[in-house]
Amino acid sequence: MEKKRCPNCNGYAIKNGKQKGNQRYKCKICQKSFQLQYKYKAYEPQVDSLIKTLLKEGCGVRSISRILDISTKTVLTRIIKISKCIKSPCIAKHGGIYEVDELWSFVGQKTNTIWVTYAIERETKRVIDFFVGNKTKANIQPLMDKILSLYPKRIYTDKLNIYPRLIPKEIHRRFQYCTNRIERHNLTIRTHIKRLSRRTICFSKSKIYLEAHLRIYFWG
């Protein structure tokens, strides 16, 4: 009889009772219990990858729930779980050119506006970092500090009056069309993320889910 292997550590497993008619196993090494087949589709190994793909293709939480045949609560839980495993990129390149901009959305209800401020490297269009919250000096400061730690050649922004107090004058530029790339990137984001689309009934239930979705979209 073929011995069962643990999906966690590839160790040998032994039978460990049944659950709703399905045989369960327990690994001798890591002591993890598992089943070879699950009735609930959320336990299938490819589900997390599918959730990431569908989020990036503009599907909302309810759409993903219908497509994958799992509950909306499970989708939301997995979004948080996936995002916690994703870290912002470590940028070692110095002397780059960066663009910073904001886009608005809603959290909780349509009357509660919130802002997403983020920065991209102009050459690669890679997102350096972002934050979700009001456009205040205290909120924008950590993002600016991260960019300034890369010794940028130029930082381009719009005419928000907070930026001149955070960016040295010699590397700061803010004139018409200087943020064309990131403005175009805003349109792409709104197209790919359902909760950020204009004229939609979709919006984030809380700031946590919005941040998790953006982390998955930018770096997942």
| pLDDT band at residue 2 using 50, 70 and 90 as cut-offs | low
The pLDDT of residue 98: 97
Residues 69 and 103 in one domain: no
Quote the pTM value. Answer: 0.83
Residue 2 domain boundaries: 1-39
- Lowest average pLDDT, out of 39-43, 183-187, 188-192, 208-212, goes to 39-43
The pLDDT of residue 67: 94
pLDDT value at 79 more than 70: yes
Residues 71 and 35 in one domain: no
Question: Are 78 and 65 a contacting pair, CB within 8 Å?
Answer: no
Residues 48 and 24 in one domain: no
- pLDDT, mean over the chain: 90
Residues 21 and 77 in one domain: no
Residues 31 and 78 in one domain: no
Residues 130 and 54 in one domain: no
Q: Which of 18, 52, 85 is the last residue of a domain?
A: 85
**Number of CB atoms found within 10 A of residue 92's CB:** 6
Residues 63 and 158 in one domain: no
pLDDT value at 212 more than 70: yes
pLDDT value at 138 more than 60: yes
Q: How far apart are the first and last CA of the chain?
A: 41
Alpha-carbon gap, residue 213 to 195, rounded angstroms: 9
Q: How far is CA 24 from CA 14, 15, 37, 57, 133, in A?
A: 9, 6, 9, 36, 46
Q: Which of 52, 85, 118 is the last residue of a domain?
A: 85
Please tell me the number of Cα atoms within 13 Å of 103 on its side-chain side. 22
> Does 9 reside within a domain?
yes
Span 3-15, mean pLDDT?
84
Residues 4 and 72 in one domain: no
> Does 220 reside within a domain?
no
Span 183-210, mean pLDDT?
89
Residues 101 and 196 in one domain: yes
Span 60-78, mean pLDDT?
93
Lay out the sheet containing 12-19: strands in order across.
Answer: 4-5, 12-19, 22-27, 33-35
| pLDDT band at residue 77 using 50, 70 and 90 as cut-offs | very high
> Does 213 reside within a domain?
no
Residues 119 and 196 in one domain: yes
Residues 136 and 186 in one domain: yes
> Does 215 reside within a domain?
no
pLDDT value at 66 more than 60: yes
> Does 218 reside within a domain?
no
